[in-house]
């Protein structure tokens, strides 16, 4: 049996459908539409961590800029392979930056950066570093400064094809800064970021970064 639909009902359905589609196609101007670069941040920082951070940062237009993991990895590996012991200047890469533009509280910012560091693991026991840096294990150190909304990890990461001694002579420095997130969440973001990088770069020494960092 064929069900017949009155013409008036059909017209109403078409009009209603067009209205719904129009309301759903707000495009990039709709704050609820996920920015195109957000998946890159989720791969590096963890999807759940990013979601929790966005909730904490409050409502507003999200502006995201991020490097694809493959591109970021290629730049880090290339720089490490070209390293010489006399090199002290290294590029810093903004792997993920999220700005939430609120109307009342201003912009809330979350940024994750990485670079090959001029700091050395052997220097972490020196008084000027021992005040703020804590040893996680013999290949990983963390700096959690309660006075600043930021945290850093310093870790040995041997890059395949790099010069001998690169792992200790050119450690990786990973950082997360924000506009005042919970310290525990900041630590999770930092840990996930570091673990994602060591996996993508393929650190030959396999540094062990725990999911929970010491406070």
pLDDT per residue rounded down to tens, the chain (215 residues): 333 333 343 333 433 344 333 343 333 333 446 789 999 999 999 999 999 999 999 999 999 999 999 999 999 999 999 998 888 789 999 999 999 998 777 899 999 999 999 999 999 989 988 888 999 999 999 997 767 899 999 999 999 999 999 999 999 999 999 998 999 999 999 999 999 999 999 999 999 999 988 77
Dihedral (CA of 31, 51, 136, 68) sign: negative
Q: Which two tokens stand for residue 65?
A: 């800029």
Q: How far apart are CA 148 and CA 154, in angstroms?
A: 17
Predicted pLDDT of residue 10:
39
Predicted pLDDT of residue 14:
36
Boundaries of every domain in the chain: 30-201
Q: Round the CA-based radius of gyration of the chain to a whole number and report it.
A: 23
Predicted pLDDT of residue 130:
87
Predicted pLDDT of residue 13:
40
């Amino acid at each position: 049996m064929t069900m017949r639909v009155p013409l008036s009902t059909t017209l109403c359905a078409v009009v209603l459908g067009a209205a719904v589609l129009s309301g759903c196609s707000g495009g990039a101007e709709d704050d609820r539409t996920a920015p195109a670069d957000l998946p890159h941040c989720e791969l590096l920082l963890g999807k759940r961590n990013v979601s929790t951070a966005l909730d904490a940062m409050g409502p507003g237009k999200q502006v995201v800029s991020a490097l694809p993991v493959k591109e970021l990895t290629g730049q880090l590996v290339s720089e490490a392979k070209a390293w010489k012991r006399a090199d002290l200047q290294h590029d810093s890469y903004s792997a993920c930056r999220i700005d939430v533009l609120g109307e009342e509280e201003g912009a809330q910012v979350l940024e994750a950066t990485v670079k090959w560091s001029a700091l050395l693991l052997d220097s972490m026991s020196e008084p000027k570093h021992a005040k703020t840096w804590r040893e996680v294990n013999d290949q990983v150190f963390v700096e959690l400064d309660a006075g600043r909304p930021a945290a850093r990890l310093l870790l040995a990461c041997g890059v395949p094809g790099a010069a001998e001694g690169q792992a200790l002579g050119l450690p990786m420095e990973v950082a997360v800064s924000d506009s005042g997130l919970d310290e525990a969440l900041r630590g999770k973001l930092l840990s996930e970021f570091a673990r994602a990088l060591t996996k993508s770069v393929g650190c030959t020494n396999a540094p062990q970064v725990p999911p929970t960092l010491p406070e």
